């Protein structure tokens, strides 16, 4: 498998994306050519000499609206250069989910449109945008951080990026559950020991302890997730035992 992805981003703040270029898993993915990231600044596609990308809303009211022509120029150039499906990061979109991330990760290319101000001229959205996505119900100042959130979530699914074939595999073992608690050296920290099962070297015992902890943490903190997930016989009995120990 030689899966790679091209992501074109349309933003008036291209330098914000230095954050994903320069750090962590996204930096490694770019280095290894698993990810290609291209920025398109709408200001480079303006007609006027002042490079204006926003104007006042027709009908009046507060704030400014992003103009269609510079955005259309940027999006169409991204598309000609090999860009894919256009996703507009928007507070009005459906919430981004892990399921959506997994599906989008199979696309060979995406164009991400990050807006600023009060929003984008509706005619541009109707002409050029294939899908809208929000990252949650809170108000940000623009779509750049949401676009970077999506990029980081997608990169985890590109094979061979940073030992991630393994972490995506562990994910399916505990899909729909919270993580189990993690421990590393030293074995004793301020009178608190590492849980005994983790020190046995018995892989089956460790697997069962971790699954039990994942089920227990999910039951305690996110019962909504448990309600959405079928439990098999082993999982039901591990959770039952976690609850009995918790009540004591
Ligand atoms: C929801 C408030 N809007 C009505 C007055 C104005 C508005 C505020 C902030 C319109 C756009 C924005 C900028 N936000 C995004 O571009 C954005 C976003 C967000 O704010 N929260 C969660 N996900 C996203 S994706 C893009």
Kindly give the interhelix angle for 144-155 and 24-31, rounded to the nearest 10 degrees.
70
Percent of all residues in the chain with a pLDDT value above 70, rounded to a whole number: 97
In contact, 12 and 53? CB cutoff 8 Å: yes
* Cα–ligand 1 centroid distance for 87 (angstroms): 15
Q: How do residues 185-209 score in pLDDT, each as one tens digit? A: 999 999 999 999 999 999 999 999 9
Which of the 8 DSSP states describes residue 161?
S
Distance 182 CA to ligand 1 centre (A): 35
Least confident among 4-13, 78-87, 95-104, 153-162: 153-162
Q: Residue with structure tokens 């005619």?
A: 123
Going through 5-144 in order, the beta strands assigned E by DSSP cover 5-10, 35-40, 54-55, 65-66, 85-89, 109-114, 131-133
Please give the domain boundaries of the chain with CATH numbers for all domains: 5-155 (3.40.1280.10), 172-246 (1.10.1270.20)
Give yes or no for residue 163 having a pLDDT over 70. Answer: no
Given this model, what pLDDT does residue 174 score?
Answer: 83
DSSP 159: T
Ligand 1 contact via 139 beta carbon (within 6 Å): yes
Average pLDDT over residues 59-76: 98
89 pocket-lining for ligand 1 (C-beta < 6 Å) = yes
- φ/ψ of 163, rounded to 5, equals 65, 30
Q: How far apart are CA 200 and CA 75, in angstroms?
A: 56
């Amino acid at each position: 498998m030689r899966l790679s992805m091209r992501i074109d981003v349309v933003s008036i703040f291209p330098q914000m994306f230095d954050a994903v270029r320069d750090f962590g898993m996204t930096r490694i993915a770019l280095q290894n050519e698993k990810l290609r990231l291209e920025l398109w600044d709408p200001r480079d596609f303006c007609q006027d000499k002042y490079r204006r990308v926003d104007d006042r809303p027709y009908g009046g009211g507060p704030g400014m609206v992003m103009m269609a022509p510079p955005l259309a120029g940027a999006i169409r150039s991204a598309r000609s250069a090999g860009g894919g499906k256009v996703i507009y990061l928007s507070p009005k979109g459906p919430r981004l989910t892990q399921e959506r991330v997994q599906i989008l990760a199979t696309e060979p290319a995406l164009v991400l449109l990050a807006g600023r101000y009060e929003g984008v001229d509706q005619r541009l959205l109707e002409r050029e945008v294939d899908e809208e996505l929000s990252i949650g119900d809170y108000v940000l100042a623009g779509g750049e951080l949401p676009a970077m959130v999506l990029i980081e979530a997608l990169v985890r699914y590109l094979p061979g990026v940073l030992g991630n074939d393994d972490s995506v595999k562990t994910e399916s073992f505990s899909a729909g559950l919270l993580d189990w608690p993690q421990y590393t050296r030293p074995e004793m920290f301020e009178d608190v020991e590492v849980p005994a099962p983790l020190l046995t070297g018995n892989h089956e015992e460790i697997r069962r302890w971790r699954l039990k902890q994942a089920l227990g943490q999910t039951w305690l903190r996110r019962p909504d997730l448990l309600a959405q997930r079928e439990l098999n016989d082993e999982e039901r009995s591990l959770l039952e035992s976690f609850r009995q120990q918790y009540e004591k």
